[in-house]
Chain A
Amino acid sequence: MTFFFEVLIGGLLAGVMYSLVALGFVLIYKASGVFNFAQGAMVFFAALTFVGVQEQFGLSFWPAFAVALGAMVLLGVLTEKIVLRPLVNQPQITLFMVTIGLAFFIEGLAQLVWGTNVYPLNLGIRDEPIEAILENFDMVISRFDLVAALVAGVLVAVLAVFFQVTKIGRALRAVADDHQAALSVGIPLKTIWAIVWSVAGFVALVAGLMWGARNGVQFALTFVALKALPVLILGGFASVLGAVVGGLIIGALEKLAAVYIDPPIRGGIESWFAYVAALLFLLVRPEGLFGERRIDRV
């Protein structure tokens, strides 16, 4: 039983890392109805920029963080201005496809600038079992996982407060509800979108640092986004809470499956397990855990 809980907790903590990435998707989807496939590329771009400026200019953590954040904000604002503004009111599927193009563009650009090497990223948190838990409960829980979970938790809390309390947050919720109506009461739509893309860039940076510290900063980071998609299906595209809960569920299921289902069929199921799980769930509840049921008005 201890082993089961160890696996479960490990899975939940890993799931938080998925939530971290999924969060970026949700922010942009909520505000502009764009399903941003480039979120993974943004995670990669952010992490690569961070380690890139650290390597090249010998910057310490915070200056490098500031530079990377600046780059993400610039990227977000430019994306909004150049890519999405001309496509306002286009079908969602067009917007989705354009972000696939954007993903390719960002991935190529990041590597043209910083090269194709794998960079290690050290945040000073060791990926080793926490001794207190190991001694008292006989469970292996990684310190890194726990810290990552805390970071994600703080980030979600900050975002929640930001959206509930601040003026920008209120405007953003209005925009999410109805673009036209928001525009008509004088909410500067374009500014809001630019802000959202910047915030999504910030979230991508945090996710990039955590994932980069775990796996090294390399092209494979973009695949992290592919892991976040089932999370979104499960949680619903427009729900922050859904991103968190969905991440936890997928993380837990994936770890449990890896331990209990994988060995008998000789491995490799992590590439698709989350998708199939999410898909089966979709058949039962097409709008996701926290999504709203659509009513066709004709």
Chain B
Amino acid sequence: MTRILGEPILSVDNISLAFGGVKALANVSFHVREHEILAIIGPNGAGKSSMLNVINGVYRPQVGEIRFRDRAWKRMVPYEAARLGIARTFQNIALFKGMSVLDNIMTGRNLKMRSGLIRQALYWGPNLREEIEHREKVEHIIDFLQIEHVRKTPVGRLPYGLQKRVELARALAAEPTLLLLDEPMAGMNVEEKQDMSRFVLDVNEEFGTTIVLIEHDMGVVMDISDRVVVLDYGRKIGDGTPDEIRANPEVIAAYLGVAH
């Protein structure tokens, strides 16, 4: 499979992050190119989720810089990241439990809705038009991810696999340029993983979305990603195509352990 990848859209430079005395990330740098699917792998506690949290501003790194589309930040702010077109899903599903599937996904459109408070209180004319216009966009995503049958269901009542899909839908509703997926296939069975992999590839292909994902299933990672970054104890120990990573001795050591 040859794919045409664009220029780097995101790069993180020399990121270091610590909680008290615990070092979560030490001097990590890598970049993501436009339309690329980049996987971040590594053993538990390697700092993968922390990395995503740094990219979209949930955590503030002590050292380093984040560049996104030719602008640099010492630290990102979550709202700012969302506005710039970075969306994400979470390792432990972070849906809004008291809301229906439809409302959850509609929150992804909030950034793009303009009606003021008074108009919303009237729910008539411009506001109604806006609601419907965004509803149409959301319905398109619902179609795409095949969750029409549950659109009015409270998310809390859905099975795990569907909840993961709704979370993806919510992120997609924001029409992101960069999508961060934190273990999108964790806890799924083989078929669900296949479905999810297909969705990830489709999103990448159809919307041209750049994707950074964290995943433990090596089969999936090697199958769908263009490039893989390996973290271990907060350090980057590998960066390359799936084939290069498979052959990297340091990565193999981190995963299998080495005899001393």
Contacts and interface: CB of A to CB of B under 8 A. Distances in A.
A135 interface: no
9 contacts: A295-B19, A296-B58, A298-B49, A298-B53, A298-B58, A298-B90, A298-B91, A298-B92, A298-B94
A197 to B, nearest CB: 29
Nearest to B52: A298
Contacts of B90: 298
Contacts of B92: 298
Interface string B23-35: 0000000000000
**Chain B residues touching A, range:** under 10
Interface in A278-296: 295-296
Contacts of A295: 19
A298 B95 CA distance: 12
B240 to A, nearest CB: 28
Interface string B90-101: 111010000000
Contacts of A298: 49, 53, 58, 90-92, 94
A298 B91 CA distance: 7
Given A298-B58, A298-B90, 5 more contacts: A296-B58, A298-B53, A298-B91, A298-B92, A298-B94
Contacts of B19: 295
Interface of B: 19, 49, 53, 58, 90-92, 94
Interface residues of A, number: 3
A78 to B, nearest CB: 31
A295 B94 CA distance: 16
Q: Which 9 A-B residue pairings sit nearest by Cβ, starting from the closest?
A: A298-B90, A298-B58, A298-B94, A295-B19, A298-B53, A296-B58, A298-B91, A298-B49, A298-B92
A298 to B, nearest CB: 5
Nearest to A296: B58
Contacts of B58: 296, 298
B91 to A, nearest CB: 7
B96 to A, nearest CB: 14
A298 B53 CA distance: 8
A121 B49 CA distance: 60
Interface in A239-298: 295-296, 298
A41 B13 CA distance: 57
A296 B53 CA distance: 10
A297 to B, nearest CB: 8
A142 B145 CA distance: 74
Contacts of B53: 298
Contacts of A296: 58
Nearest to B182: A298
A298 B92 CA distance: 7
A93 to B, nearest CB: 13
A126 B92 CA distance: 60
B22 to A, nearest CB: 10
A187 B91 CA distance: 30
Nearest to A298: B90
Nearest to A295: B19
A258 B222 CA distance: 71
A298 B88 CA distance: 11
